[in-house]
Amino acid sequence: MKTEMITLKHGDASIKMPASSLAKLAMASVFAQVLPPAANVQPAPQSPVPEIGKPWPGQGGINGGFVHARGDVPAHYLIIAAKDVGRLEWGGRGVEVKGLSKTDGYTNTQVLIGNDDERKCPAADACAEYQADGHHDFYLPAAAELYHGWLNCPEVFAQDCYYWSSSQRSADSAFGLGFGGGFQDDYGKTSELRARPVRRFFI
Computed over every residue of the chain, the mean pLDDT equals 86
CA atoms within 13 A on the CB side of 1: 3
Q: Which DSSP state fits 144? A: H
Q: What three-state secondary structure class fits 109?
A: helix
- For residue 14, what pLDDT is reported? 56
Query: Going by CATH, does the domain composed of 55-202 fall within 3.10.100?
Result: yes
Strand (E) or helix (H) holding 27: helix 19-34
- For residue 6, what pLDDT is reported? 61
Is the pLDDT at 126 greater than 90? The verdict is: yes
For the chain, the structural domain boundaries read 5-40, 55-202
Whether 95 and 60 have beta carbons less than 8 Å apart is answered as: no
Confidence of residue 180 (pLDDT cuts 50, 70, 90): very high
Query: 171: alpha, beta or left, given left = phi > 0 and alpha = psi -120 to 50?
Result: alpha
Least confident of 5-19, 53-67, 104-118: 5-19
Q: Which DSSP state fits 164? A: E
Please give the share of the chain, as a percent, with pLDDT higher than 90: 71
